[in-house]
Structure 1
């Protein structure tokens, strides 16, 4: 990603020591706000996007920790901790936390992914000081009491059970395991029943202390905000908690690595009673930092990103074999996945799989047409803008960009990068990615002969 730094200022103490550095990363334009960043002395980064025309603000804190940072015995600890930070601090009980945001009509939530965790609140602009106080308090002052760990264990086990009851959701975890095996990226974010039951309050506290250091956090706010005021309030909240004592600390760099997915032709089948069979056929994709990701977005959109896409037309519109069929990409710091999902009657699995495999092979060998590529570029540009029409999406964009890339890209630059993708780039990428031997994950009521045919389909 690219960053445009137009101005840098530093505030100094009475002794002349620099205590904060502020940059204007992106100047505001029509439809986009000014993005600024300040690095506090404890290594905490604060990024804001100012949009004076709105009346809401989304405030979030991103942690540089996800399920890929867990050992096998700690699988599920990141998600478990996400739940526990809502259970109470030295200043507030769990009820106080939720009631404070409910009282002003706000929304508060969190999510855990493979490489990061985010906690956020969306409120009226006048209630931003409350949101900052509550969310910062959660991140810096969580108690993680034994009784809360035990109470929340049951909640998380129910969440795991709920996921397992939804094969359309569970198949994505199965596909990650098929492609990545028993590795941190291949294991489920929620963990397993065994690993969750084995987690103790002490182990979770150690995990919390290790990964929630200010150098590993990014504060992001978008909406009708004043950057300097946000910085002052965040700094006061973290200093009060004693979280900025290390004045020489520097922010954690974005993830890096050299992992590559070399698996091919792997098949994992999970026989389960259900009305539908859920199928994912996929290949290794691109890391999120790969410069070809713009062409990958166009290729993915043309293949399975909308009602005019090849897969939707061939599987659903022409043959009526599935209600839901689409393709998707997952990009991590050092590797990625490309998958095609379809949910269909068990008796139709062979037909659906053959059509999907034939389409991938055809696009790999012959490429997409110029019309398909042009249409996909237009669709991707439009969805990019429409997906950034609220303060929550904007907060996600600037927070994730800082955490994962260490830089910001304007919406105009993103649209220009998409528009600059050429048909030749898409066709070359299709040969490289779709030309790989695929792997397969299926959940459903499968018979023995059918299971053998599915293994043969990717042989």
Structure 2
């Protein structure tokens, strides 16, 4: 799959065993099942993934999938809301759900002996929730409070506002939670229709890691999802239009929060590992250039880091910083200076080797976490249409060179439009200084 166009269908390959024990198979009903067995683990982490998120909603119903993900825990034909919570606690593990711009996930980490009971619970809430009217209204209020809470957290809110600012009018620019207005407009029928359309193959994927084998996992998928009717995969890809934009949101805060963001890479871009290393060199740790210059040397900010986010057809790469308003202009000049220096004095062998070492150590430690492996395999399957082995993931990082990193930096820092977003006590004079 390339970085543009519709994603490939979530797999129909015949069962195959990878070198490190990853098994990629297809369940009876066409739902891909990926399992990494580790007999040393007494626990299992599994995820049931729906290839639909906020970008797949209409603008008028933004927040629909997030609302649905909340509401399914509020009662089924067999379990009321309290029974669901009691059962989760009694399992002694962790059951969770979350929504992103491109997918929804229901996950659990439990003892292997409780796998089938937990799978039964998660499948039940996904497919058989009854959406009681009083629970719909109660959860609507909870989500509205969640939105307000996010608005009260400037470090969180500025990232929420980044995507609508950069991709205004595009599905990727919608807020995952929706807005107060759109959440109020979502009806019980909207929720039922969304589940009916998307909670079925070919939108579904199941991944698991730990003390479980592929045969047992496939049997569970067949038992609980084998009778689901087939849907029709669809996702729109409107043209992405970006331009240099400065958006200042005045708030009576102690600090000014600032993001400068430009073009990044899609999830399937072959340079994705170079981007991860570039991000680490620029602002991904205490030894990074931004941290050393702006915090350690100049003392202008406590919090500064670079970041990237990736989607099917595009991505974003940027810098976040929070500082006192009186330091804003000086910090802005220093930030521009470090971005320019990234091109004039590109990372050499030592910087790139240190960043690679950080990634490799973190990656190898993640292999010992069933939850991390379950998430890794799902992301790779959804965006690359294959689950990578440990060796393949390590090799991709090891293959990164300074030349590749610097070539990527040249491409994404020089080309494309930039978005500047500032939140806090920022005057008109200071706004004029925030030019791209």
Fold similarity call, TM over 0.5: yes
Identify which of 427, 430, 433 aligns with 1:447. Answer: 427
The answer for the alignment partner of 2:133 in structure 1 is 146
Moved runs in structure 1, 4+ residues, more than 4 A? 255-260
* Number of residues of Structure 1 aligned to a counterpart in Structure 2: 426
Alignment partner, residue 182 of structure 1: 169
Preserved contact between residue 173 and residue 187 of structure 1 (Cα < 8 Å): no
What aligned pairs does 1:218-367 form with structure 2 within 5 A after superposition? 218-239=205-226, 242-243=227-228, 245-246=229-230, 259-260=239-240, 262-367=241-346
Structure 1 residues 25 and 70, CA, compared in 2 at 3 Å: closer, same or farther? farther
CA distance in 1, matches of 2:379, 2:49: 7
**What is the TM-score with the length of structure 2 in the denominator?**
0.93
Alignment of 1:124 onto 2:111? yes
Partner residue, 2:8: none
- 1:352 & 1:103 partners in 2: Cα distance? 51
Determine if contact 2:26/2:33 at 8 Å carries over to the other structure. yes
Deviation at 1:256, TM superposition (A): 9.0
After superposition, the CA RMSD in angstroms is: 2.1
Paired residue for 2:7? none
Q: Which moved more, 1:194-203 or 1:136-145?
A: 136-145
Tell me if structure 2 keeps the 8 A contact 1:269–1:443: yes
| Partner residue in 2 for 1:415 | 394
Which segments of 5 or more consecutive residues in structure 2 lack a partner in the other structure?
2-11
Q: Among 16, 27, 33, which residue is 1:24 paired with? A: 16
**Aligned residue runs from structure 1 range 428-439, under 5 A:** 428-436=407-415, 438-439=418-419
Of 39, 55, 66, 2:42 maps to 55
Pair 1:392 & 2:380 matched: no
Is the CA contact 2:356–2:398 (under 8 Å) kept in the aligned structure 1? Answer: yes
What is the deviation of 1:22?
A: 5.0
Q: What is the rounded CA distance, in whole Å, between the counterparts of 2:329 and 2:207 in structure 1?
A: 47
CA offsets 1:344-381 (integer angstroms, 9 cap, x no match) = 11221222222112111221344222221121121122
2-side partners of 1:258 and 1:184: how far apart? Answer: 8
* Residues in 2 aligned to 1:191 and 1:258: alpha-carbon distance in whole angstroms: 20
Separation (CA, whole Å) in 2 of partners of 1:275 and 1:368: 35
> 1:99 is paired with a residue of what secondary structure?
helix
Q: Displacement, 1:225?
A: 0.4
Give 1:126 deviation, angstroms: 0.9
Partner SS, residue 76 of structure 2: coil
Name the CA distance, whole Å, in 1 between partners of 2:217 and 2:53.
26
Counterparts of 1:73-92 in structure 2, within 5 Å, are: 73-92=60-79
Which digits, 9 at most, give the CA deviation of each residue in 1:116-159, with x for residues without a partner?
11011111111111111111111221222322211100000010
Q: Deviations over 1:16-48 (max 9, x none)?
A: xxxx975124232xxxxx222332333222211
TM-score, structure 1 length as denominator? Answer: 0.88
Query: Structure 1 regions of 5+ residues with no counterpart?
Result: 2-19, 29-33
For 1:102 and 1:156, locate their aligned partners in 2 and report how far apart those are by CA, in whole Å.
23
**SS of residue in 1 equivalent to 2:33:** strand
Q: 1:258, CA displacement in angstroms?
A: 8.0
Q: What is the match of residue 355 of structure 2?
A: 376
Cα distance, 1:295 vs. partner? 1.1
Residues 210-221 of structure 1 aligned to structure 2 (within 5 Å): 210-221=197-208
Distance in 2 between residues matched to 1:175 and 1:23, nearest whole Å: 42
Looking at structure 1, the residues matched to 77 and 304 of structure 2 have their Cα atoms a distance apart, in angstroms, of 48
